[in-house]
Amino acid sequence: MNAAALKMPSDPRILFIGENAPYGPMNGGGLRTRVTIEALASVGRVTFLPVIPEPWSVDAVAETARRFELAPPIRFHSSEKRQRLSARIQRNVSPRCMDTDGFQIDGRDEAVVDRELRHAELVWIYQVRRANLLRRWHWPRTVLDIDDLASRFELTQAVVSTRAQRIRALWRAWLWRRREKLFDERFRHLVVSSEDDRRYLRSTSRVHVIPNTFDDSNVTVVRSPAAHPRFGFIGHLGYPPNRDAIDWFGRYVWPDIVCALPDSELRIVGSESEFLRARHLPGVALGYVADPTDEMATWTAMIVPVRIGGGTRVKISEAFVRRIPVIATRLGAFGYDVANDRELLLADDPRAFAHACIRIFTEPGLAERLTVAGSELYNRDHSIAAVRGRIAVVAAEALREERGSVDP
């Protein structure tokens, strides 16, 4: 279904609520935000209501305002110091408590939210924490995008934690699971990033699957792998799942790779790379690279040894686009319809992960076979065009439902 067919007769107003700047420095949340609002614009007139801890850059504000209506931003701040003990206990016990993170907005901002909601035929919220922060329990006419389920994140955190940390993570997972079971009475439509998340929710609401994507608009694929084995990782090392991934790989996987392939090299693209030196981990720390195309073209394979987190890893799509073979844990490849030895290699055990890395370098034809299958999967299900189409269909369906129309 094309954009013209989806456009509603009266150009309905759609309110998007989120935190990420869609045209600022790009990360996974920013890209999902940009793709979402651009898809919504094919269905109606979009107003962006930022709910943010710090102002966006001047350029990000200007570019967003040029393309869409931009509402006055809602700033939130910590309320921890002023909270009574009873309020903190409530936050950590009750699934109906909307103060899930110890933040609040000012009273005068509530009037801004009320005004924007009154004029919207459809509301699209990115992440439940933004909905909770605005202290509204019931959200009629609303699609909630929860591409990263908090309970699943906490469960993975528990698996790799020490005993005391594991208990806290399991408690948080239990509490978030109870909150997620209440989504049905709060929101009309839910969006998740994978079929597995949809089954996990067991929701009676309309649950739609919209996978994450990668911006391939400026990617020119010219692969030139180094003569020696070169394995690469890309990700912000201030993010705990990435830190854990590199720590685990460097300590428990890398020694077996070097033993079999002594001239192997590990390359890491991502800010806060001083973490590697502080933990005495192997690897060449490249820091933030604005355009990693030339660097990644030399990699034998991308590693995604992620053991913590929810949602889907955008770096998998990035590797598929760039025709780079992938070795990942099953959690690292979560949310993608992939199979071991078809689109990538999967391994959760350190020795199995090392063996997979060695195979990529030593088995003729393996890398080419995997990258062809990965590229086909990306083009079919994860490209920006495919994801925009799914978003537009969900928005149009939600609007027709609100107007009492019957799907054709």
Q: Give the β-pairing of 326-328 and 345-346.
A: parallel
Q: Is 408 inside any structural domain?
A: no
User: Residue 11: inside a domain, yes or no?
Assistant: yes
Residues 284, 192, single domain; the answer is: no
Q: What is the pTM of this model?
A: 0.88
Please indicate, yes or no, whether residues 373 and 397 belong to a single structural domain of this protein: no
Residue 61: both structure tokens together: 């504000």
Average pLDDT over residues 51-62: 94
Q: DSSP letter for 340, please.
A: B
- Tell me if 94 is assigned to some domain: yes
pLDDT tens digits, one per residue of 62-79: 999 999 999 999 998 887
Least confident of 70-74, 90-94, 105-109, 379-383: 105-109
Lowest mean pLDDT among 44-58, 97-111, 333-347: 97-111
Residue 82 has pLDDT above 70, yes or no: no
Same domain membership, residue 190 and residue 119: yes
203 and 292 fall within a common domain: no
Residues 190 and 235 in one domain: no
| Average pLDDT of span 106-121 | 89
Domain span at residue 333?
230-382
* 386 vs 261: CA distance, rounded Å: 40
Distance of CA 262 to the CA centre of its chain: 35
Total domains in the fold of the chain: 2
Dihedral through CA 242, CA 244, CA 247, CA 251, nearest 10? -130
Q: 246 lies in a domain?
A: yes
Residue 321 sits in a domain whose CATH number is: 3.40.50.2000
Cβ atoms 331, 307 nearer than 8 A:
yes
Tell me if 218 is assigned to some domain. Answer: no
For the residues 55-61, what does the mean pLDDT come to?
A: 94
pLDDT at 333: 94
130 close to 146: Cβ distance less than 8 angstroms: no
What percent of the chain clears pLDDT 70, i.e. is strictly above it?
96
| pLDDT at residue 73, as a whole number | 93
Q: Does residue 100 share a domain with residue 140?
A: yes
- Among 314, 352, 309, 349, which residue's Cα sits nearest to residue 331? 309
pLDDT of the residue at 275:
83
Q: Give yes or no: residues 98 and 129 share one domain.
A: yes
Q: Does residue 143 sit in the same domain as residue 234? A: no
pLDDT single digits (tens) 234-281: 998 888 899 999 999 999 999 999 999 999 999 999 888 788 888 889
Between CA 29 and CA 33 the distance in angstroms is 6
How does residue 86 score in pLDDT terms, banded at 50, 70 and 90? confident
**Hey, what are 295's tokens?**
């660097």
pLDDT at 223: 85
* pLDDT given for residue 407 in this prediction: 42
Residues 185 and 115 grouped into a single domain: yes
Question: How large is the average pLDDT for residues 344-369?
Answer: 97
Tens digits of per-residue pLDDT, 240-249? 899 999 999 9
Backbone angles phi, psi at 74, to 5 degrees: -100, 115
Tell me what pLDDT residue 377 has.
Answer: 95
198 lies in the same domain as 243: no
Same domain, 397 and 336: no
Q: Within a domain: residue 407?
A: no
Give me the sign of the Cα torsion angle 389, 20, 204, 404.
Answer: negative
- pLDDT category at 81 given cuts 50, 70, 90 is low
Cβ density class 236-245: b for 16+ within 10 Å, e for less: bbebebbbbb
As beta bridge partners, residue 344 has 340
Look over the chain and give the mean of its residue pLDDT values, rounded to a whole number.
90
In a domain, 368, yes or no: yes
The pair of structure tokens assigned to 392 is 């537009």
Q: What is the mean pLDDT of residues 357-369?
A: 96
Residue 401: pLDDT above 90?
no
Are 375 and 398 in a shared domain? no
pLDDT confidence of residue 163: 84
Question: What is the pLDDT, as a whole number, of residue 408?
Answer: 38
Q: Tell me the β-bridge partners of 172.
A: none
In this prediction, residues 345-350 reach a mean pLDDT of 97
Q: Which helix (H) or strand (E) holds 183?
A: helix 183-186
Residue 1 has pLDDT above 90, yes or no: no
Let me know if residue 17 belongs to a domain. Answer: yes
Q: What is the domain-level CATH number for residue 191?
A: 3.40.50.11930
CA 59 to CA 67: how far, in whole Å? Answer: 13
Tell me the β-bridge partners of 192: 209
**pLDDT at residue 205, as a whole number:** 66
Torsion of CA 272, 148, 38, 45, to 10 degrees: -130
